[in-house]
């Protein structure tokens, strides 16, 4: 270390004296180049190691879940824990699936998450477009109200919503789980920002091209904000797919219950927590999300890197 410091000192502070130092100078220069290269390589190694560590931290619970889902129950209790089960027990998945009406849960989850997504698209696209593009009286005030709803947690409004749904006889129905999320303040905010980045000239060009307003939105604006839209869709899908609290409160029987409630029920079976089956159930739960994520990965990255035609 001391040597290295000295070398650095030499290359930075060492000023060769006189003509005799010519040789020395070139050697110092090459030394400097080597040192710089070494430093760069070291930095790259540190960078990669750091990133790997981060990946490991985030992936660890996931790997643990996968590993546990393939163990026998006694194996899950072994200490020190074993990462790779000796004989993978695929039966756990079947067991998890059979603890309740899982097909029903699955269908409910799909209907609700997709239903919410479709309704949200129908509401947030026109709303955010209007907020971004039209000047009308009270637009700022209305947008303020939309933003305020972002600050209200679901726990605060579930009771009035529950009473309302019950009055409309919508408890234990898909509609009852979909309607409260028909719009999204976050989505409106996100999309409004994206719409605002689009230049006015593009709209004017479309108007001169005799395009109707809806056509401008569908054919020009929406394709341009596609990455943002996909990102929002993913956020929304994951949030509602994984949502536990809301379906728990709004359902009293199995007809409209979703996967997360089904998974939670596995824990209650037989009084002992069957971690292996539970983890298998969790994997069933997250599998669709992973698929969706892999399909939309590129768009998500795009959404965070602004790309426009210059």
Q: Contact positions toward other proteins, by CB under 8 A?
A: 199, 201-202, 204-212, 215, 219-220, 223-224, 226, 308-309
Residue closer to other proteins (CB basis): 180 or 227: 227
State the minimum distance, in angstroms, from the CB of residue 199 to other proteins.
7
CB 275 within 8 A of CB 256: no
> Residue 215: what are its φ and ψ, rounded to 5°?
-70, -40
**CA-to-CA separations, 10 to 5, 41, 42, 144, 261, in angstroms, rounded:** 9, 21, 20, 62, 67
H helices of the chain, where? Answer: 2-13, 22-69, 73-77, 91-98, 102-133, 139-149, 154-167, 174-178, 185-196, 200-208, 213-215, 222-224, 226-242, 245-250, 259-268, 275-304
Residue closer to other proteins (CB basis): 200 or 268: 200
Residue closer to other proteins (CB basis): 201 or 270: 201
State the minimum distance, in angstroms, from the CB of residue 173 to other proteins.
38
State the minimum distance, in angstroms, from the CB of residue 211 to other proteins.
5
CB 112 within 8 A of CB 240: yes
State the minimum distance, in angstroms, from the CB of residue 297 to other proteins.
20
Residue closer to other proteins (CB basis): 15 or 210: 210
CB 193 within 8 A of CB 267: no
State the minimum distance, in angstroms, from the CB of residue 194 to other proteins.
13
State the minimum distance, in angstroms, from the CB of residue 229 to other proteins.
12
State the minimum distance, in angstroms, from the CB of residue 224 to other proteins.
6
Return d(Cα 304, Cα 240) in angstroms, integer: 22
Residue closer to other proteins (CB basis): 216 or 263: 216
**CA-to-CA separations, 223 to 124, 212, 220, in angstroms, rounded:** 15, 16, 6
Residue of 247, 123, 140, 244 lying closest to 188 (CA atoms):
123
CB-neighbour burial class of residue 7 (10 A; exposed 0-12, middle 13-18, buried 19+): middle
Residue closer to other proteins (CB basis): 6 or 226: 226
State the minimum distance, in angstroms, from the CB of residue 213 to other proteins.
11
Residue closer to other proteins (CB basis): 15 or 307: 307
Return d(Cα 245, Cα 133) in angstroms, integer: 36
**CA-to-CA separations, 171 to 58, 244, 261, 264, in angstroms, rounded:** 37, 16, 16, 20
Residue closer to other proteins (CB basis): 26 or 199: 199
């Amino acid at each position: 270390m001391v040597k290295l410091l000295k070398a650095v000192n030499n290359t930075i502070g060492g000023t060769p004296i006189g003509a005799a130092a010519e040789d020395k100078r070139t050697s110092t220069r090459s030394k400097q180049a080597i040192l710089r290269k070494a430093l760069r390589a070291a930095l790259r190694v540190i960078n990669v190691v750091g990133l790997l560590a981060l990946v490991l931290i985030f992936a660890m619970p996931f790997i643990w879940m996968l590993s546990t889902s393939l163990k026998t129950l006694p194996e899950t209790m072994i200490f020190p824990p074993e990462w790779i089960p000796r004989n993978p027990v695929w039966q756990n998945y079947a067991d998890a699936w059979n603890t309740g009406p899982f097909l029903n849960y699955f269908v409910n989850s799909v209907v609700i998450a997709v239903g919410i997504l479709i309704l949200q698209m129908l509401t947030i696209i026109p709303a955010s477009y209007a907020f971004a593009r039209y000047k009308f009286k009270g637009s700022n005030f209305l947008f303020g109200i939309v933003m305020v709803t972002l600050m209200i947690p679901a726990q605060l409004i579930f009771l009035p919503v529950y009473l309302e749904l019950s009055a409309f006889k919508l408890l234990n129905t898909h509609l009852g789980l979909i309607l409260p999320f028909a719009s999204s303040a976050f989505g409106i905010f996100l999309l409004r920002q994206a719409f605002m980045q689009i230049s006015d000239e593009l709209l004017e060009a479309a108007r001169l091209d005799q395009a109707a307003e809806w056509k401008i939105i569908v054919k020009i604006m929406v394709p341009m904000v596609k990455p943002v839209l996909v990102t929002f869709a993913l956020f929304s899908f994951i949030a509602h797919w994984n949502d536990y609290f809301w379906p728990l409160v709004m359902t009293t029987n199995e007809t409209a219950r979703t996967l997360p409630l089904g998974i939670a029920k596995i824990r209650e079976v037989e009084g002992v927590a069957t971690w292996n089956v539970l983890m298998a159930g969790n994997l069933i739960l997250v599998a669709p999300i992973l698929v969706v994520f892999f399909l939309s990965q590129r768009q998500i990255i795009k959404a965070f890197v602004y790309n426009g035609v210059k």
